[in-house]
Amino acid sequence: MFKEPVEILPNVNYTACATLKGPDSHYGTKGLRKVIHESPTSGAKTCFTFCYAAGNNNGTSVEDGQIPEIIFYT
């Protein structure tokens, strides 16, 4: 979690990364490349698209990794 909310802008690419310390840990599988959320009140749609990041990802990918969810509000 961030100490404060972070504003993200439409049509801008962002990279989320984390450094984990300690023994080997479990990881999530079956991650999605694209998630579309439709607001139950306004019907507005928010789309998140996930892709591979350059560099050493230590065996993680879009499908398998350590970041389980993104919490957002509009």
Per the CB < 8 A criterion, the answer to whether 71 and 8 are in contact is no
Q: If you average pLDDT over every residue of the chain, what do you get?
A: 89
pTM: 0.75
Task: Tell me whether residue 12 is in a domain.
Answer: no
Per-residue pLDDT, averaged over 3-30, amounts to 89
In a domain, residue 46? The reply is yes
Q: How far apart are CA 46 and CA 1, in angstroms?
A: 21
Residue 40 belongs to what domain range?
27-53
* pLDDT for position 20: 85
Confidence tier at 56 by pLDDT (50, 70, 90) = confident
- Residue 37 maps to a domain: yes
Q: Is 7 part of any domain?
A: no
Q: How many structural domains does the chain have? A: 1
